[in-house]
Amino acid sequence: MTGWPGGRQVGLAFGLGAVMALGQAPLDAWFLTLPALAGLIGLVARQPGARSAAFVGWFGGAGYFGLALSWIVEPFFIDIASDGWMAPFAPVLLAFGLGLFWAAAGALAGWSRKPVAGMVVGLGVAELARGYVLTGFPWALIGHIWIDTPVALVAAWVGPSGLTLLTLVLAAGLRHWRLVPISLAMLAVVWVFGVWQLRLPDPVAPGVVVRLVQPNAGQAAKWDPDNARVFFDRLMAYSAAQPRVDLVIWPETALPYLLDSNPGLAQSIGAAAGVPVVVGLQRVEGPRAWNGLKVLGPDGAVLAAYDKHHLVPFGEYLPFGDALFDWLGVSAFASQAGQGYSAGPGPQVLDLGPKLGRVLPLICYEAVFPQGLRGAGRADWLLQITNDAWFGSLTGPFQHAEQARLRAIEQGLPLVRVANTGITAVFDARGREVASLPFQTAAYLDVPLPGALSPTIYATLGEVPVLVLLAGLGAGLIRRRKRMTA
C-alpha cells in the first residue's frame, strides 16, 4: 500500500491515542494525555510523507475515539435481542470515522515543512470542524481534559477550541527538552490564572430555590406499562414534598404519558407541586413527534414550551427516516412514535417571570454544542434536562455532565442539570459544582440558584479569536513552504 507506514507505526499511534483518552472523564488524567499527545505529534512529524503521516494520524484518532467513546455500545444493549448485533460495529465505525479528521491533520503535517506546527494547526482545525461537519459531534474534544481543573476557566475567553489549541501547543513543547520548561511555565501561568478566577467574589444570587427530581428510571423499564405508574408516582411524590420551592424540574422524557391525550394530567402535576414544574415529555401531532419540555403552572396551564432542535443522528432521527420507516420499519432508538423525532425551530430563551428569570433550555445532546447557546439572546441561567440512562454507567454520563459544565464557564451562567439516572447537579457561573445527587439513585435535591456573571468574551465572540489565530498560523505554514520551494 502506497504510503503505508507499517504495522508497528500505526499500532504505536493507536496506543498513544488510547492513552490520550484517559484524560477524559471520569479519570480526568490530563497528565497522561499531554505526554501521549506529544508522542503522537512526534510520530506523525517523523513520517516521510503526507500519506504515511495521514495513516498515523488516522490510527491515533481511532485509538483515542475508540476508548473515549466506548460508551457508544450501551444503547445497543437496551434491547439486546433486536439491536445487540450492531454493538461490535458501532465503536469501530465511529472510531475510524472520527479518526478521519485526525488523518487530515496528519496529512497537513506531512505536507508542511514544519510538521510539528502543521500537526498543531491541523488538529486544532480538525477538532473545531468536528463540532460542525455533518451536524457536528464535538464530544471528547482534546481540550476537555481540563474541565475538572482551573485551566478550564480559560474557556470563558476562547471556548473549548481554545482549550484544545492550548493543549496542542503545550504537548508540542514537551517534544524537545529545551522547550519543556516553557511548556510547563505556560501551564503554570494558566493554572494560576484559573485559581485566581475561582477566588473572585461570587455574583449575587437571585434568591430562587429549584428542586431537581431524579426518578432513576432504567431505560429498559422506562416505557414498560407496568413500570410507568411507579415512575410517575415517584415523580409526583418528589414534586409534592415539603417545603415548597420556587421551581420543580423533571428530566428529559420523564413523563411516561402524552400530556395532550390525558385530560387533567397537567392539572394534577401542577397541583402536586404547587409551583411551576418543568416537565420533560414527548409531544405528538399526527405522525410527528417531538422531544421537548413544557413549564406547567400550579393550575396546569402551560407557561412556556420548548422542542429539542439538535437531534441525535440515528438515535432520535434517521437520515431518510421516513422512507426507511415506511419501507423497512426501521426507526431511531429513542423515539417512541413514528420513524424518529422532528426537530424544533432552534435555540430559545424562555421568560419564566421576574423571579425565575430567563432560562435557556438544553435537552440532552444539545449541551454538547457550545454554538447552540449563541443567537437566542442572553439568559439568566442554563437548564439541561437529560436521560443519560442511554449512556451506561462507566464513562458516558460523566463525560456528558462535564461538557455541560463547560457551557456554564463559557457563558458565565449557572447551569442546572437534571438527569433521569444522574448526574444531577447545579454548577455556578465559573463551573464549580454547588450540589449534586448520587449517581443512579432515586431522589430529589433542593438547591439555591447561583448568580450570573457578565457576558464572557466567548459568549460575545464565539470561535472568532481561535479562528483568527488558526488562520494566522496556517498562513505562516503556507508562506514558509512557498519560500522553501521557491
Q: For the whole model, what pTM was predicted?
A: 0.94
The three grid cell numbers given for residue 348, joined into one nine-digit string: 430559545
The three grid cell numbers given for residue 431, joined into one nine-digit string: 463551573
**What count of Cα atoms within 13 Å lies in the side-chain half-sphere of residue 33?**
27
**DSSP symbols for 328-344:** H----SS-SSTTSPPP-
Whole-angstrom distance, CA of residue 163 vs CA of residue 247: 35
Task: Please calculate the CA angle 169-173-178 and round it to the nearest 5 degrees.
Answer: 155
Annotated active-site residue 127? The verdict is: no
Q: Given this model, what pLDDT does residue 258 score?
A: 94
Whole-angstrom distance, CA of residue 152 vs CA of residue 471: 23
Contact 77, 91 (CB under 8 A): no
Contact 103, 65 (CB under 8 A): no
Whole-angstrom distance, CA of residue 405 vs CA of residue 416: 9
First and final CA of the chain: distance in angstroms? 31
Q: Given this model, what pLDDT does residue 314 score?
A: 79
The answer to whether the bond into 225 is cis (omega within 30° of 0) is no
SS3 assignment, position 361: strand
Pairing of β 358-363 and β 350-351: antiparallel
Q: Given this model, what pLDDT does residue 339 score?
A: 55
The active-site residue out of 127, 222, 364, 410 is 364
Q: Kindly report the backbone phi and psi dihedral angles of residue 206, in degrees, each rounded to the nearest multiple of 5, phi listed first.
A: -80, -5
The active-site residue out of 74, 127, 222, 308 is 308
What does DSSP assign to residue 313? B
Whole-angstrom distance, CA of residue 256 vs CA of residue 341: 16
- Tell me which fold the domain 209-309+344-452 belongs to: Nitrilase/N-carbamoyl-D-aminoacid amidohydrolase (3.60.110)
Please report, for the chain, the start and end positions of each structural domain, with discontinuous segments joined by +. 7-200+464-485, 209-309+344-452
The total number of residues shown for the chain amounts to 486
Annotated active-site residue 252? The verdict is: yes
Sheet order of strands, 358-363 included: 350-351, 358-363, 381-386, 415-419, 425-427, 433-436
The three grid cell numbers given for residue 420, joined into one nine-digit string: 433521569
The three grid cell numbers given for residue 457, joined into one nine-digit string: 468574551
The active-site residue out of 127, 252, 316, 402 is 252
Contact 52, 103 (CB under 8 A): no
Annotated active-site residue 316? The verdict is: no
pLDDT digit of tens for each residue in the chain (486 aa)? 678 999 999 999 999 999 999 999 999 999 999 999 999 999 999 999 999 999 999 999 999 999 999 999 998 888 787 888 888 899 999 999 999 999 999 999 999 999 999 999 999 999 999 999 999 999 999 999 999 999 999 999 999 999 999 999 999 999 999 999 999 999 999 999 999 999 999 999 999 999 999 999 988 788 888 889 999 999 999 999 999 999 999 999 999 999 989 999 999 999 999 999 999 999 998 888 999 999 999 999 999 999 999 998 877 877 655 554 554 454 444 444 445 789 999 999 999 999 999 999 999 999 999 998 987 889 999 999 999 999 999 999 999 999 999 999 999 999 999 999 999 999 999 999 999 999 999 999 999 999 999 999 999 999 999 999 999 988 888 766 655 554
Q: Given this model, what pLDDT does residue 337 score?
A: 45
Q: Given this model, what pLDDT does residue 309 score?
A: 94
The three grid cell numbers given for residue 434, joined into one nine-digit string: 454547588
